[in-house]
Structure 1
Amino acid sequence: MRALLVDAGTVTEIGPETVADFAGPGFVWLHVDGAGKRQEMDVPDYVPHMAANALVASETRPRCDAVDAGVLINLRGTAADTMQDSDGLVSIRVWVENHRVTSVSRHSMAALGKVEAAARSGRIVDGGDFVAALAHAISVELDPKVADLGDQLDDCEGMLDGGNIYELRRNIAWIRSQAIVLRRFVAPDRDALGQMAQLEFAWISKDDRLHLREAADRFARMAEELEAVRERAALLHEQLTDLRAEMIDQRSLGIAVTAFIFLPLTFVTGLLGMNVQGIPFADHPQAFWGVVAFCAVIGAAVLAWFSVRHWLSD
């Protein structure tokens, strides 16, 4: 837990116990960073009960609710560090007031560094500026990840003709699952920021609303791109299934042609190979080559029949 006092672009670290009585001048940001889901986190007493419960909830989704003179907003963004068995998105829950912001995250978020940099540069003077900066930073961090899924899918499309079908199917299935997971939170991020931009608070300035709508529009574009990736992945999966079925059909046809050619030959050789008296030309010195020539004629006739029927061209 740490608290930062921002006054005229100067950032000073202060004691968390002084945040509750803060009345200005300047802007104070209290951030509680938990070390995983199992750690209990304490929320300051000045946060309303409903908002406090939402800040420490184990599972959250993006939302925005006005409570008394403040706003509770939850957003999802990329994690600062690689997370095992995770979709790579972490939640930040923020209680926003005019000159005081309380944020809680159970894992480090990549966008918080940019928000702190914006505070140090003097671009954040109230709660509205903070949320606008946070939304912008999250969208900027998340946009390349969404674009990368589209680029990977483009690569898979280019490998359809000569790639390993089984490896492609695994890659496409992974891309599709990632798109589904990301869209699950990107679309609510858009809705939460849109609701924030419509709230009637004096500390949400016209510029803040413009930046919030811009970030919401970026999230909307990412949601549309993720939906397109999901649909394209499903279409590619169907194409791979068709290609695999076509490969199986071609191999089955080859086996069937081979079996059809050797079926009459097997009959002839089996008939002539019976250990009984009276086999024609059994003692003739050229009988073997005659049988070979007869079998070759039968094979050629079968192949010609397949060609006339166009069974070998498709």
Structure 2
Amino acid sequence: MLENDNADWGLVHALVLDGQGGARAVARADLVHLQLAEHESLWLHWDRGQVRTHAWLREESGLNAFSCDLLLEENTRPRLVPLPNARFLLFLRGINLNPGAQPEDMVSVRIFAEERRVISLRLRSLRATEDLVARLAAGEGPRNAADLVLYLAERLTERIQAVVDQLTETLDTEEERVDSEDGYAPEHSSLLHLRRRSAGLRRFLAPQRDLFALLARNCPGWFSNEHSHYWNELNNSLTRYLEELELNRERVALLIEAEQRQLSERMNRTMYRFGVVTGIFLPITFITGLLGMNVGGLPGADNSAGFLITCGVTLAVAVGQWLLYRQLRWL
């Protein structure tokens, strides 16, 4: 019932982290007078598409207009914006696992983080936040704001692995069929689709890798040294995914090249056969055309065996050409 009341205000999740891996829900109306214990942190997850979310962010969140404008802007890319007093804005992208969506159409989550408060906004639902709520309900979730931001980044990064693996397996299958099946050529449209998916993922993963590296080097003071190691591991994971996507793009280019080469070979063989047939029939056509002229003095015109003689000469010319082509190894 509490979640339904909060949802009417655009508040998807409102949880107070207890510092032990658990959390308790709070109502939207209680945010104004909410007092946190020393070991507690607050996480507010909002629906960016709700008008009331915009109103709360600008009027009650305590954020300045610059931060609100960035959190609510229509289009953004992965980036890190440091703010005064050891606060920051973090813009991340995650795999779109919503029904009917393309994974490379990555969903955005915008995060404002300070030592004891995290405000996140999304436009479309994210599996990462649902996993986070489930872990908190089980008492196994993040203990503070630093853990929460890191947890969201980790879950967003983990889901990228499945999509990259799927692309790689598809290319493996196509390459095996090209190598094992004579004359097999993958569909051009399918290869282009794979290349577009790889490019769409690389578009957002490259800047996201860079901001993870930045966080590994320059974490705010309320992050621990252990957090820096985790950010560095996320940077390494995205580097590996990007290398795999770059390799996949090169493999797609090789498959397209193989497809074009096979098409060119088939076309050349077809044109070669047409050339041989044309070469055989050209002198025969000349003989029949010459004898078909309606003029006087044609040889064999008054001979009853003229037709048979002409057929024999034509056949002899054809056999002679065939033997010549065989000797020249044109056949």
Give distance in 2, aligned partners of 1:223 and 1:117. Answer: 30
Structure 1 pair 22–48 and aligned structure 2 pair: CA distance change class (3 A) = farther
Q: CA deviation at 1:164?
A: 6.1
What's the secondary structure of 2:127's corresponding residue?
coil
Could you tell me which residue of structure 2 aligns to residue 76 of structure 1? 93
Per-residue CA deviations over 1:60-82 (Å, capped at 9, x if unaligned) read 11111221221211111012413
Could you tell me which residue of structure 1 aligns to residue 54 of structure 2? 41
Runs (5+) with no aligned partner, structure 1 = none
Is 1:126–1:203's contact at 8 Å kept on the other side of the alignment? no
Q: Which amino acid aligns with 2:44?
A: L
Instruction: Give 2:44's match in structure 1, choosing from 17, 24, 30.
Output: 30
Give distance in 2, aligned partners of 1:55 and 1:71. Answer: 11
Is 2:47–2:53's contact at 8 Å kept on the other side of the alignment? no
Give distance in 1, aligned partners of 2:306 and 2:53. Answer: 94
Q: CA deviation at 1:31?
A: 0.5
Per-residue CA deviations over 1:137-181 (Å, capped at 9, x if unaligned) read 11111111111112212222233355664x621111111111111
Runs (5+) with no aligned partner, structure 2 = 1-10
Give distance in 1, aligned partners of 2:75 and 2:52. Answer: 13
Give distance in 2, aligned partners of 1:18 and 1:76. Answer: 31
Q: CA deviation at 1:284?
A: 4.2
Q: Is 1:252–2:271 an aligned residue pair?
A: yes
Instruction: Give 1:6's match in structure 2, choosing from 9, 17, 31.
Output: 17
Give distance in 2, aligned partners of 1:39 and 1:245. Answer: 61
Q: Post-superposition, which runs of at least 4 consecutive aligned residues in structure 1 deviate over 6 A?
A: none
Q: Is 1:90–2:102 an aligned residue pair?
A: no
Could you tell me which residue of structure 2 aligns to residue 142 of structure 1? 160
Instruction: Give 2:127's match in structure 1, choosing from 93, 107, 110.
Output: 110
Could you tell me which residue of structure 2 aligns to residue 180 of structure 1? 199
Structure 1 pair 123–10 and aligned structure 2 pair: CA distance change class (3 A) = closer
What's the secondary structure of 1:111's corresponding residue?
helix
Q: CA deviation at 1:17?
A: 4.8
Is 1:77–1:110's contact at 8 Å kept on the other side of the alignment? no
Give distance in 2, aligned partners of 1:81 and 1:152. Answer: 22
Give distance in 2, aligned partners of 1:217 and 1:210. Answer: 11
What's the secondary structure of 2:54's corresponding residue?
coil
Q: Is 1:243–2:227 an aligned residue pair?
A: no
Q: Is 1:194–2:207 an aligned residue pair?
A: no
Calculate the aligned-residue CA RMSD, in Å. 2.5
Q: Which amino acid aligns with 1:124?
A: P
Question: When the two structures are aligned, how many residues end up with a matched partner?
Answer: 310
Could you tell me which residue of structure 1 aligns to residue 67 of structure 2? 51
Instruction: Give 1:228's match in structure 2, choosing from 244, 247, 257.
Output: 247
Is 2:183–2:262's contact at 8 Å kept on the other side of the alignment? no
- TM-score, normalised to structure 1, is 0.88
Give distance in 1, aligned partners of 2:285 and 2:184. Answer: 37
Instruction: Give 2:76's match in structure 1, choosing from 44, 56, 60.
Output: 60
Give distance in 2, aligned partners of 1:260 and 1:39. Answer: 81
Is 2:96–2:102's contact at 8 Å kept on the other side of the alignment? no
Could you tell me which residue of structure 1 aligns to residue 290 of structure 2? 271
Matches within 5 A, 1:161-180: 161-162=181-182, 165=185, 168-180=187-199
Q: Which amino acid aligns with 1:99?
A: R
- TM-score, normalised to structure 2, is 0.84
Could you tell me which residue of structure 2 aligns to residue 126 of structure 1? 144
Give distance in 1, aligned partners of 2:235 and 2:290. Answer: 82
Give distance in 2, aligned partners of 1:249 and 1:83. Answer: 43
Q: Which amino acid aligns with 1:46?
A: G
Q: CA deviation at 1:40?
A: 7.2
Most deviating of 40-49 and 144-153 = 40-49
Q: Which amino acid aligns with 1:6?
A: L
What's the secondary structure of 1:281's corresponding residue?
coil
Structure 1 pair 189–19 and aligned structure 2 pair: CA distance change class (3 A) = farther
